[in-house]
Chains A and B, each alone.
Chain A
């Protein structure tokens, strides 16, 4: 399959996306932000549609919208329950906006399908480079803030008690989450990017009990999902997103069964 230029590009882009999503996912799950990442992908859809409408790229539109919303969320109250209610209200507004932007723009509807459901053929060499740089940026931010971010994500109260600036960490994390949603959506689509951002991280929790191991398993599952998905999509011509989500969901339930089996032994 690598004799095709578009497959090589899709492969490189997916690899970077999977590594980023695998890392970020561990923290998304431990910070209880699966719901928020779902909402961010819907907001991302509106952003991409906006990007098409005003003639900047869908990726740029997506980053713009998700960054603004995640910073807004970060500066809202820290009361997480109140946050969830207001977030779900906002997300329906954004889906509506996305549909409006698409209908106003003159681009063909295939664009819309790509944004929503993902695509492996749509990516150009230039976009691959952009995705790579964004992914590397996210990974570097994680390496730099690794120690305090882990403390805050796995023991928020303890991190506060030890005097860490948890507010700042929250903003940094939300920014990386916004970027991950935007780059992940380029392959998986905004409808299902949260699959990559939550399931591998959640599955890892059933299997291992230290942060480095959680990261390894999560990145591994994420990579396996996109590589397998790309291959099968190439062979069958079915959508790549279907294979990726099927793989991650199966892995999740296997992980859950393993944990239950272990508990009962």
Chain B
């Protein structure tokens, strides 16, 4: 479970959000929505310990097992590593042969699950937008996280590719009980995959039913 109590974050004088409160249950698949600059990415960074909170409290069950797929990645056309090697970057170093075998099995399983097996040897720079997002997801999964945070991973993807990616995430959520925080601007996807959304608005956060989300709410 993630519980946020009276959390406030400001950068200098600029207050991003003030005294926000919410809970996310284990195994929940929740959307996080709000306009650009509302503080969604900042919240995630605080949860991950990558950014300091200004005040407030965060209670979390499994602090170390968050898989985070960041909003921006700089993989250009010349990027040399292939998809499997890119995934493996996130594995912890170990000399223990048993752990290494276990890691390899895990990589294998995730490659299958994300439908990347056949293109595992392809340089990531040459992969399509959807394949790249799947590779980012796959990399975040190799450490067996219990919480997965997707920061606008479906932005700029074609509709059918979005659905493919989200179906996969949904399956991980249902079968493996993975808690998913899905940051998005896509009201259709929130309705299709989640029941509840945390709406960032006017420096605060409100938990709403996805059916309350209007088309132009985060423009």
Name A's B-contacting residues (CB within 8 A).
30, 146-148, 150-151, 154-163, 204-205, 208-211, 214
Interface-lining segment among B7-15, B78-86, B206-214: B78-86
Q: Which of B48, B68, B80 contacts A30 (CB 8 A)?
A: B80
Q: Which of A150, A204, A214 contacts B89 (CB 8 A)?
A: A150
Instruction: Provide the residues of chain A in CB contact with B143, threshold 8 Å.
Output: 162
Contact check, A158 vs B89: say whether CB atoms are below 8 A apart.
Answer: yes
Chain A nearest CB from B136 CB (Å) reads 8
Which residues of chain B (163-194) have a CB below 8 Å from chain A? none
Q: A154-B89, A158-B89 in contact; A163/B49 too (CB < 8 A)?
A: yes
Contact check, A147 vs B93: say whether CB atoms are below 8 A apart.
Answer: yes
Interface mask (B68-97 → A, CB under 8 Å = 1, otherwise 0): 111011110010111001100111110000
Contact check, A210 vs B82: say whether CB atoms are below 8 A apart.
Answer: yes
Chain B nearest CB from A29 CB (Å) reads 9
Name B's A-contacting residues (CB within 8 A).
48-50, 68-70, 72-75, 78, 80-82, 85-86, 89-93, 121, 123, 136, 139-140, 143
Chain B nearest CB from A165 CB (Å) reads 11
Chain B nearest CB from A26 CB (Å) reads 9
Q: A151-B89, A209-B123 in contact; A158/B81 too (CB < 8 A)?
A: no
Instruction: Provide the residues of chain B in CB contact with A208, threshold 8 Å.
Output: 80
Interface of A is mostly: helix
Chain B nearest CB from A218 CB (Å) reads 11
Instruction: Provide the residues of chain B in CB contact with A154, threshold 8 Å.
Output: 80-81, 86, 89
Contact check, A163 vs B50: say whether CB atoms are below 8 A apart.
Answer: yes
- Measured in the bound complex, the distance between the Cα atoms of B123 and A211 in whole Å is 12
CB-based nearest B residue for A30: B80
Q: Which of A30, A161, A204, A209 contacts B70 (CB 8 A)?
A: A161
Q: Which of A147, A161, A211 contacts B81 (CB 8 A)?
A: A211
Q: A151-B90, A211-B81 in contact; A158/B123 too (CB < 8 A)?
A: no
- Measured in the bound complex, the distance between the Cα atoms of B142 and A161 in whole Å is 14
Q: List 26 A-B contacts (CB under 8 A).
A: A147-B91, A147-B93, A150-B89, A151-B89, A151-B90, A154-B81, A154-B86, A154-B89, A155-B73, A155-B75, A155-B139, A158-B139, A160-B50, A161-B50, A161-B68, A161-B70, A161-B140, A163-B48, A163-B50, A205-B78, A205-B80, A209-B80, A209-B81, A210-B81, A211-B81, A211-B85
Instruction: Provide the residues of chain A in CB contact with B82, threshold 8 Å.
Output: 209-210
Instruction: Provide the residues of chain A in CB contact with B68, threshold 8 Å.
Output: 161-162
Instruction: Provide the residues of chain A in CB contact with B73, threshold 8 Å.
Output: 155, 157-158
Instruction: Provide the residues of chain A in CB contact with B85, threshold 8 Å.
Output: 209-211
Instruction: Beyond the given A147-B92, A154-B89, A157-B74, please list 15 additional residue pairs across the A-B interface where CB-CB is below 8 A.
Output: A147-B91, A151-B90, A154-B80, A155-B86, A155-B139, A156-B74, A157-B70, A160-B50, A161-B68, A163-B50, A205-B80, A209-B82, A210-B81, A210-B82, A211-B85
